[in-house]
Amino acid sequence: MKRLLAAAVLLLGSVGVAKAQGTASTDGTDPANGSAEIKTASIPKVTSANSVASTDLFFLPPVKPFTTTGTPVMATALALPFETADPASPPPNPKFLYTTTDRPRWELALGVDWLRFRSSIFNASAVGVKTSISYFTNEWFAIEANVSADFAPQIFDREHVKTVVYGAGPKIAWRADRWEPWVHGIFGGAHEMPQTQGNSKNAFSIQAGGGVDYHFNPRFSGRLEANYVRTTFFSQSQNNFELAAGVVFHF
């Protein structure tokens, strides 16, 4: 009887265990399948850019292509594009110093001269120095002032000839790159020694002539000059001739 009861209990237990295993396999997942799903979930899913852009949950702003020729713009509201800023320009030359071609307006000439003085009382060949200064009002017209001081050997007893010719007047020049020919007319006075009896040491003078300058550089030139010089000493008129050579400083 005890054996029959034990066999019945064992049979009922086997049936219960089998039923429990069947229910678990129906409601749950297979262990092999579970591990496969875990592996699949751990692998990141690749999503294309088009699918991401088409969704409403994620939005990327359009990216403009980068170019080196574009105008850089500062990130402030007050800044302007760089290309609108004017480049710094050099200051203009002072109008009272330079002409429109950047040539200096002022010229200072220093040189030596030879004056052949001819009169009814005496003749003399005097050598001395000549100085002139010119101011150009435009590209070709200038106002010039000059002074010549010359000395000659003894002509009378213990007397030497001394002459000074001075004046001012217009000057016209053709200001080329290297050569600069010019003409002028100078009106002024003259002074001579020795003084002759009954005559004044001073007289009126006119210089008419011209010359040519050679520009070594924008600030320095050489000059050759020739002039007809008319004076009125001894209540007469004298027709004199002058040659000069020197250097010219431009500033």
pLDDT per residue as tens digits for the range 91-150: 665 554 555 556 789 999 999 999 999 888 888 899 999 999 999 999 899 999 999 999
Is residue 190 a part of any domain in this protein? yes
Q: Is 162 contained in some domain? A: yes
CATH number where 198 lies = 2.40.160.20
Give the residue with greater pLDDT, 55 vs 202.
Answer: 202
Please indicate, yes or no, if residue 36 is contained in any of the structural domains. no
pLDDT in tens, 60-98: 555 555 555 555 545 554 555 555 556 667 666 555 455
154 residue type, one letter: Q
* pLDDT tens digits along 34-59: 444 544 445 555 555 455 444 444 44
Top pLDDT among 97 and 222 is at 222
243: in domain: yes
Cα angle at 122 between 119 and 125, to 5 degrees? 90
* Structural domains in the chain (count): 1
Cβ neighbours of residue 141 under 8 Å, at least 6 residues apart?
170, 171, 172
Q: Is residue 28 part of a domain?
A: no
Residues 6+ apart with CB under 8 A from 130: 109, 110, 111, 112, 113, 146, 147, 148, 149, 225, 244, 246
- Residue 181, classed as helix, strand or coil, is strand
CA distance 44 to 107: 90
| pLDDT for the residue numbered 135 | 97
Residue 177 lies in a domain: yes
Range of the domain at 242: 111-250
Q: Is residue 234 part of a domain?
A: yes
Tens digit of each residue's pLDDT (9 = 90 or more) over 151-174: 988 666 667 889 999 999 999 999
Does 27 reside within a domain?
no
CA distance 229 to 113: 13
**Per-residue pLDDT, 121:** 84
Which tens digit of pLDDT belongs to each residue from 175-197? 888 899 999 999 999 999 887 77
